[in-house]
Structure 1
Amino acid sequence: MDLPRKLAAEALGTALLLAVVIGSGIMAERLSGGNVAVALLANTLATVGGLYILIEVFAPISGAHFNPAVSAVMAWRGELPAGVLVLYIAAQLLGAMLGAWLAHAMFDMSILQFSTKLRTGMGQWIAEAVATAGLLLVILRAPAGRGAAMVACYIGAAYWFTASTSFANPAAAFGRMFSDSFAGIAPSSAPGFMLAELVGAGIGVLIHRALSATESTAPAREQALDTSAQQIHEA
Structure 2
Amino acid sequence: MRRISLQFAALLSMLFLFSFSCEDHVVPETPEILPVVSTRPMQVSGTGKLHFKMAFENLGNVQIASYGIVYSVGFFDLNINSTKIPTINFIKQDFLGDPGLGELSHSEAAAPEGFYAIYYRAFAMLGSGEVVYGNTMEFNPDLGGRAVLEVFGTPNINMPYNTGYVFKNLGNKNIVEYGLVYSYNTAVTQAINPMPTVADHKRATNAQTSPPVKDLIRGVNLQIAESAINELYVRSYVIYADQTVDYGKFTAHIKK
Q: TM-score category by the smaller chain?
A: under 0.3
Q: What TM-score, normalized to structure 2? A: 0.22
Bigger share in strand: 2
Q: What TM-score, normalized to structure 1? A: 0.24
Larger Rg: 2
Bigger share in helix: 1
